[in-house]
Amino acid sequence: MTNTALITGASSGIGLELAKIHASKGGNLVLVARSKSKLNALKEELEALHNIHVDVIVLDLSQPGSAQALFEQTTVRGLQIDTLINNAGFGGHGKFHERSLSDDQAMMQVNMVTLTNLTHLYLQGMVARNQGKILNVSSTASFMPGPLQAVYYATKSYVTSLAKQWQKKSKRTM
């Protein structure tokens, strides 16, 4: 049985590298990001190198409702997600009172709200199958306050806390 991993923020950085690792082990992928051209280039590369199947979903995860839209797209396509990698995220720099509130709200949407919603939506099937894995990518920034990046550090603290609490609970229930 092929292991299908859904990776958010897959067009660059850690997400791109995790996609390459998963593909090298023979796993199929669902790649999610905003950059259609980058995702399609990665799809072509990984399918050619590893003889796997890659689905591309172009989506802006900073938009409310994006997690539900992503879940519905994978459901309509008949994709069973065995591994969810919540990697999408971004930061910002500057004094809190001088930064754009809308920029910080978009950061909170991606880094916390969409991540939480995706975890909840895909965990349902994993629990029902008694099988699945979720990786919520955080940062060392989650362990301390950071200068000129208050909201970023706070969102990463949330991710780390959620993963620890959920992990403890899931071991008891799965």
Rounding to the nearest 10 degrees, give the CA dihedral for residues 77, 78, 80, 84.
20
Active-site amino acid positions? 152
Q: How many CB atoms lie within 10 A of CB 112?
A: 19
Question: Coil, strand or helix: which one is 83?
Answer: strand
Do residues 123 and 45 lie in contact, with contact meaning Cβ atoms separated by under 8 Å?
A: no
Counting Cα atoms < 13 Å in the Cβ hemisphere of 33 gives: 26
Going by C-alpha positions, the residue among 74, 98, 76, 85 that lies closest to residue 149 is 98
